[in-house]
Amino acid sequence: MLPFTYIEDDASLSELVEQYHQASVLVLDTEFVRTRTYYARLGLIQVYDGKTLALIDPLEVSDLTPFWALLQRDDLITVLHSCSEDLEVLANYGQCQPKQLFDSQIAAALCGFGHGIGYAKLVEQCLNISLDKGESRTDWIKRPLTDAQLHYAANDVEYLYQIYPQLLDKLKQSERLAWVFEEGERMTQGRLDAPDGETAYLRVKNGFQLTSQQLAYLKVLAKWRLEQALAKDLALGFVVKDHALIALAKKRPQSVSDIYKMSELTEQEKRRHAKTLVAVLKSADLQNLPQPIDVLALKPGYKSAFKAIKNCLTCIAEAADVPMELIGSKRHIHEYLQWVWEGKTSEPPLVLTGWRGELTASKLEQLSL
């Protein structure tokens, strides 16, 4: 177990960042807590450059700006494992994203370790070390952190730094290193964009059930809910749940008493939001109705077309020794089929771009859909 430096003041952070600016590779991990909040609450940042392993306490350091700036260096490779949630944390707290992102989970998949391998399993397979998972449910906001918790956190970057060269060599041999950085660039795109209230209704479960007029009501409801969630830092479901928004859009209650008659809302939601919900519903723009949400899967021929694409991509994945989930997940197939059926007029779907397109384009073009 490597010794680590615990950073809990601005001066120590500045000194650490100055050292890290000499590095070309930085291994990073974050620990956070997400229960009722819209954004995850950052509890700890682990960093290792091969010389100094540091645990940065974001609850004690008052200015993390130098560290966020470090991560945005064009020539710095930032190594994380299964980093989607880490990127969300960086976007929220640092308004930044790594320029050269190396996700070791994606890299491992392209090296033959299988799709979605967990960190502990990757450490075991690459280093023959079994990690203690005893602290995985730690409340990273609570202080003080125990020695066991700190060592657990430090392990996340110590061993990943040892694994990185192994993955790097395999990727270079297979000429797939560029694929990993391409995936990293794709994963960071749009992370700094503010949540869009105008399109929030498209992400409400079962919105496809609604008519255009009902969608107009859902649109203002979903926008209001998002604004509430952001203002109060609450997960969307802790403002009003999806099924309740759908019911409101369908029933369109005209008064507070109508709201109180609805079984889909909790008593607490009624007390807190009844008056507001009535006003929000009245603000719906019924002169400019949204288009009905087109459910591709309900169209004739969808199942057979989906199966044909999946079979084609499965053959490609097996031939290239790349996990099918990485080349053609259900969502990827759906996007491709929608693009074809809409006349190929929009931007090509993910499965046809970059390294995926190199593998798939010629084969997919031969399908009759």
Task: Label residue 175 left, alpha or beta by phi (over 0 means left) and psi (-120 to 50 means alpha).
Answer: left
pLDDT in tens, 284-314: 999 999 998 878 878 899 999 999 999 999 9
* Half-sphere exposure (Cβ direction) of 22: Cα atoms closer than 13 Å: 7
Dihedral Cα 311, 316, 320, 324, nearest 10 deg: -40
For this structure, is 31 an active site residue? yes
pLDDT in tens, 255-279: 999 999 999 999 999 999 999 999 9
Find the catalytic residue in 49, 57, 86, 335: 86
* Half-sphere exposure (Cβ direction) of 329: Cα atoms closer than 13 Å: 8
Decide if domain 5-188 falls under CATH 3.40.718.10.
no
pLDDT in tens, 65-112: 999 999 999 999 999 999 999 999 999 999 999 999 999 999 999 999
Assigned architecture for domain 197-282: Orthogonal Bundle (1.10)
For this structure, is 156 an active site residue? yes
Judge contact between 323 and 115, C-beta under 8 A: yes
CATH 3.30.420.10 in the chain: give the residue spans: 5-188
Residue that is written with structure tokens 């450490």 in the block: 123
CATH 1.10.150.80 in the chain: give the residue spans: 197-282, 296-365
Find the catalytic residue in 57, 156, 158, 183: 156
Going across the sheet that includes 5-7, the strands are 5-7, 53-56, 41-48, 25-33, 77-80, 100-103
pLDDT in tens, 341-366: 999 999 999 999 999 999 999 999 99
For this structure, is 335 an active site residue? no
pTM above 0.95, yes or no: no
Find the catalytic residue in 31, 49, 57, 183: 31
Find the catalytic residue in 48, 93, 119, 152: 152
For this structure, is 233 an active site residue? no
For this structure, is 18 an active site residue? no
Class of domain 296-365: mainly alpha
What is the pLDDT at residue 299?
87
What is the pLDDT at residue 142?
95
